[in-house]
Amino acid sequence: LYTAPDSCEGRCGEPFSEEDECHCHPGCERHHSCCEDYERHCGPDGFSSSRDSISDQELLQLSEQLYRVDHNKARPSDVAINPQHLAEPDETGDQQDRSPQPLYKYVNEELFSKPTYASFIKLLDNYQRATGREEEVTAEELGEQDRFLEEVMKTELMRTLFTFLQGKNRYSSEQEFVEDLKEMWFGLYSRADGERDSSGFEHVFSGEVKKGKVSGFHNWIRFYLLEKQGVVNYFSHNFNGPWDTYPDVLGLQFSWDGFYKEVGSAFVGCSPEFEFGLYTLCFLARPGRACHLSLGGHRLSVQTYPWTKSTYGSGRRFIATAYVMSP
């Protein structure tokens, strides 16, 4: 279902990576490894000049900048977690609950009254988690999508991201950026049986169940709310990030109404716009590949994949998944 990008659009001059299906760096012609549209985009008269590519260094710098301006993130006193059992690699798949207590000891729910949190939480119950069942989107739900995008675009974090992408000639206006965010994240496509049953937002933030297993579900707020209701059971963790403040990163095992997630990952304590913005950046800059970032002086990577079976607009891809990678 997932493939690396096969176009040089916006990639001219980017560093060589063995992960790429085809290449857009200046030496690719010599190695006969260029993407088919290399000349059209990266030649002397090409559409995508090398200054519009996003370098590895720029990703490190911008991610640190976004980390600094995440003004709505949880303070250390707002969230207390209890990770309990650290699972060995051979334990993550055995579905044994080795942590008798919930993961979240305390969350200051006043956070959830902030506009980006409140509008984010309204979106979480808009989905049927089973793949293969068509999503029916009401006018009210479309309005909730618009409200969320409106609220996140008021934040310094998302304005910083837009300014950077506009400088790279990815978007000519904020309106164009918001319209594309709505399509890439909320546009529906089929994961099973030809039904328009999924979207990037549903998969990444709300979570799905496919073939008897939890699929996606990478959001700490969603996890906390469902754990509080008693429908999510935390089993163990296989990674706890080096951050001593929020956002932090946790790799974890859990069940959702009896459906199991063997290795999940989530930022903990970040604002909704932080995750939404960081995943968007990586999807646009390094689709289908590891996107190497830096937060508070610590390196980490985000993996995104485009949905390759359908497109929107002039051949643009929906988000299939996005998640922070835990070693």
Residues 235-260: tens digit of each pLDDT: 999 999 999 999 999 999 999 999 99
Q: Can you give the pLDDT at residue 132? A: 80
- pLDDT, one tens digit per residue, over 275-285 is 999 999 999 99
Whole-number Cα distances in Å, 119 to 75, 143, 261: 20, 10, 26
Give per-residue pLDDT as tens, 169-178.
Answer: 899 999 999 9
At what angle are helices 139-152 and 174-186 packed, to 10 degrees?
130
pLDDT digits (tens, 9 = 90+) for 69-85: 999 999 999 999 999 99
At the topology level, CATH places domain 1-43 in: Factor Xa Inhibitor (4.10.410)
What is the per-residue pLDDT for 48? 52
- Which of the two residues, 9 and 96, has the higher pLDDT score? 96
Question: pLDDT band for position 161 (50/70/90)?
Answer: very high
Nearest Cα to Cα of residue 322 among 131, 197, 209, 185: 185
Q: What is the separation, in whole angstroms, between the first and last Cα of the chain?
A: 23
List, by residue number, the catalytic residues: 203, 218, 261
- State whether the Cα torsion 136-140-144-145 is positive or negative: positive
pTM (2 d.p.): 0.88
Work out the percent of the chain whose per-residue pLDDT is above 70.
96
Domain residue ranges in the chain: 1-43, 56-325
